[in-house]
Chain A
């Protein structure tokens, strides 16, 4: 049985003030961002949105041209990330779920911990394990149907998922899927390499899909099973990376790929379990490669193999880490007890396979976040934020707007998540630690936001659009500041006049990434503005972008 487990505490009935966007991002319940009038004392009270009107002759040809250049060969992690954040491209996401359903992973089924333990604990295997060596080898082949073993394991997983999937479905003709860990986002064997940057893009997309979390119509027709499978796979991958499961034979953790400030980039990889190591931390970066002794017997592989991992990391980049933290925050928001209304069946209490405290797994990323921000990525003395670190005490290159946007999003998400933990089944010590950590997150968020305001003139309009969306989120959900609001209005108005206007009239062709981020920005603004005229204009603009993006999405 697959159990995604962690620690357990007590809960209560009060609902928090956090709600989720369609892409899983948590926002504060009350929108703080108004239409520009901030109050009598504010110098910004005179500044208002200048939303452009959609020209009558806008046909979107330039958008379609830009998006058409995005094909399987050119799409990259940045595009995946942008598509994850925007509430758009449903077909693209659906097709990715279908692709990944049967994709080969780096870690084959016999080495996937949950499946391994299934093999080890099988009564027949237990019997064989009790026999002396040579006899075990002889009888193992006779008693265990090795050829069918893998199929049986995967089918067993599928049955468990089917019984727990929210909303049920008709599974009479459901295809089998693979449950190998760390499949690539591209249809390539990937040479057995696990790229954290790529995996983050994959996880980001998986957790951004709303679907089963809100009881919406499934992306893959019939049921939420495909989405659910990817969720469980993602959680299993995280558990493996942290090394949280141990072999019942050797008591040695499966996996454990964490680095720390102590081990640096060249020391040994290790497991990190925050349940037993309250002072430690673990983070993941670079490319990992697994090696294990090849054998034709899947039972042998499960029972006897010891895979070894190597990691090559020249430096840890802020962008990837921020996206990982962001994804973990979204996962926490999805899994937390207060947001389980539509997904009760996936948890043990509802008869499912995810432990009731499964929402605490994403919290394991927080110690690594704290460790990397305190020194390697942020110099508190001179308020510098670095785009990369080699953990050698030397300052890295300065973070640009693109890096800062992702970091702001990640910190903002965690800031919202940690606002009210009273209902989240956490013990007092854990809750207290998280609440004090929230204060540090706020400080970091203030610094990041300040740096973004000082660095708004990025040459990439895609980055500017992303930054505006990010600042918007921070202003709405995290930092209540008339100054910040007025800056965002000013910067957004500048972006609209410098860039959006020419795009709408067809004078310039945006990049695909820019189009996606602009669509997201417009969606954010439409959520916030109460002005009917602005609502109308934004609705037209969103439709303009969405039509092109959806059209491209269906062909991808």
Chain B
């Protein structure tokens, strides 16, 4: 069993939150309210980009190769190593023959969030902003054991040839069942996986943006927007004794720089590209360090770990069409988070901790927006605002849940002049 969500939060509340807010005139402010609802998360993209059922994160086939890899824990790896010293009459190594059945997992994840943001035109060139999400999430999980377990048969086969420790190991392995799996969770000092729930804030974003336009032929406009953001780790971060929790924040400070290039044709059609780069500052965190590759790590191995997060960068292309009151937009891009590196004073396998922290997301977004600003200016509408419905989904990815969400966002403008 593995930790469910490691860096999912990296993409939780970015691009559509304020980063896309326009540059505001001096003295003009904006309050952003959003409600994001994620579809039931039932699949994820694994390390090789294959889409798997989310329950597979809890599932595994306790075959010889799995035991040998160490993912089932140090004890079963030792058992595999011992059995490797025996070959049966067909030349098959007993370590390859052992099969303890299947662990099956079922997970139900629910996530929704509200977003609060404020932007203000500080000068005619600079707009400051901050924003923070509030997240409500729950995870329900269930384990079961199925399939034949041949540990007892191997134990009988070896008979007196097996050392007492091997005999005992095979006996315990032969008793593996659903109850034993849950016992192991408790023995390792983890909280029950049946239900986890948390409500709280995500990471705070504080930043400023500026923009400048380029000389363009008539009927064309082009401009560059530069956004700098400081991410403050105010969000919940996964706890070492919880297997099925979701981080709402990254747990580290970050500095992001985004550059957008956009061209508008005849005030209606927009085309542009957006790039972001983010530097994440090292931090320290309490984590459990595996000895080998085991998924369930003993509570005794919790220690202070130095985390050096990888860089984040992303790029997307976007287009939009302004129909006056309504405009539509489409964005297609990718986000990439480089592997994190872990280290600490406790001897263990820090490399495996960072092995699944590299994230890749290939996504597209679509939104429909009701824009009353112009109408307000022409006194045809009572209030200037943007009301948009956004939808984002992944096309493919690596080490990320297959996220899909719908978001209703209201940007209400106000004047402080």
Contacts and interface: CB of A to CB of B under 8 A. Distances in A.
**Is B truly associated with A?**
yes
A415 to B, nearest CB: 10
Contacts of A47: 89
A43 interface: yes
A529 interface: no
Contacts of B161: 446, 449-450, 479, 481, 483-484
Of A383, A481, A489, chain B has the most CB atoms within 10 Å of the CB of A481
B158 interface: yes
Contacts of A447: 163
Interface footprint category on B:
10 to 19
A44 B89 contact: yes
Nearest to B85: A450
A480 B89 contact: no
A88 to B, nearest CB: 30
Contacts of B389: none
Interface residues of A, number: 25
Given A43-B88, A453-B87, A483 B157 contact: yes
Contacts of B157: 41-44, 481-483
Given A41-B153, A443-B163, A443-B164, A481 B89 contact: no
Contacts, number: 58
A490 interface: yes
A483 B90 CA distance: 12
Contact of B85 (A454, A482, A484): A454
Interface in A435-490: 442-443, 446-447, 449-450, 453-454, 478-484, 486-487, 489-490
B86 interface: yes
Interface in B123-170: 153, 156-164
B156 A446 contact: no
Contacts of B85: 383, 450, 454
Nearest to A39: B156
Contacts of A450: 85-86, 161
Given A454-B85, A479-B161, A483-B161, A43 B90 contact: yes
A478 B153 contact: no
Contacts of A487: 89
A521 B22 CA distance: 92
Interface string B46-88: 0000000000000000000000000000000000000001111
Interface string A319-356: 00000000000000000000000000000000000000
B89 A43 contact: yes
Interface in B151-198: 153, 156-164
Most buried by B among A454, A483, A490: A483
A482 B156 contact: yes
A518 B224 CA distance: 91
A484 B156 CA distance: 11
A446 B89 contact: no
B88 A481 contact: no
Nearest to B165: A443
Nearest to A47: B89
A487 B87 CA distance: 9
B86 A453 contact: yes
Interface in A415-431: none
Contacts of A383: 85
Given A453-B87, A454-B85, A480 B164 contact: no
Contacts of A490: 89
Contacts of A479: 159-161
A39 to B, nearest CB: 8
Contact of A481 (B87, B159, B164): B159
Given A41-B153, A443-B164, A482 B159 contact: yes
A262 to B, nearest CB: 29
Contacts of B159: 479-484
A77 B131 CA distance: 90
A187 B391 CA distance: 102
A44 B97 CA distance: 14
B162 to A, nearest CB: 7
B163 A446 contact: yes
Sorted nearest first, the 4 A-B pairs with minimum C-beta distance are: A481-B159, A479-B160, A481-B161, A483-B157
17 contacts: A44-B88, A44-B89, A446-B162, A446-B163, A449-B161, A450-B85, A453-B86, A454-B85, A478-B160, A479-B161, A481-B158, A481-B160, A482-B156, A482-B157, A482-B159, A484-B160, A486-B89
Interface of A: 41-44, 47, 383, 442-443, 446-447, 449-450, 453-454, 478-484, 486-487, 489-490
Given A447-B163, A479-B159, 8 more contacts: A454-B85, A479-B160, A481-B160, A481-B161, A483-B159, A484-B160, A487-B89, A490-B89
